[in-house]
Amino acid sequence: MKNIVILISGRGSNMESVVRASQAEQWPARIAAVISNKADAAGLAFAKASGIATAVVPSKDFASRAEFDAALAQAVDAFAPDLVVLAGFMRILTVPFVEHYAGRMINIHPSLLPDFPGLATHRQALEAGVARHGASVHIVTTELDHGPVLGQAEVEVLPGDTEATLAARVLVQEHNLYPRVIRAFIEGRPGAGSGTAA
């Protein structure tokens, strides 16, 4: 049985979708812990209610990113993860942290990478006038949002879309895409997460 540790910073809607899928589909893995850098992250309550161990490593308590990442790695490693899943974890991780989990840490990003890395992806998509937008799951590397893509889901950009309406449709696809890619990854089928959605 493989161990998955999920990192969140807020409400954790992608974390919820992963937890629900893992339980409903009886994955050959367990969500060993949900860890947040914020004590008031709403997703912690869902994790606790689901019987999942939780931990908080408050980023505000550390003087540097390096000190925080060292403490976070210690908390994560306590659960012996086979896979670390970033689900709305709003921190840029240091090189040593990323290298420590090389090949076993993944993230979901709200764009069709390599298009629109970084923040404000929905605004970037609208300003660029693209016809299709979406989400990507990728392996985390030391270059932000540039790791190998494991799967993507697309949505059509509609006339009159705003950042909010586009973000809402992309989020629906994220909730379908992330569990599918994670399950494929832990079952040794990393290519199985690929595909598109309307």
Instruction: Name the residues annotated as catalytic.
Output: 109
Q: Which residues contact 49 (CB under 8 A, 6 or more apart)?
A: none
3-state secondary structure of 181: helix
Instruction: Say whether 37 sits in a helix, a strand or coil.
Output: coil
What 116-125 contacts at long range (C-beta under 8 Å, 24+ apart), as own/partner pairs, is 117/144, 117/145, 117/146, 118/144, 118/145, 122/163, 122/166, 122/167, 122/170, 123/163, 125/157, 125/166
CA distances from 115 to 14, 102, 119 (A): 21, 23, 12
Helix residue ranges, H only, the chain: 13-24, 43-49, 65-77, 95-100, 121-128, 163-186
Strands 83-86 and 149-156: unpaired
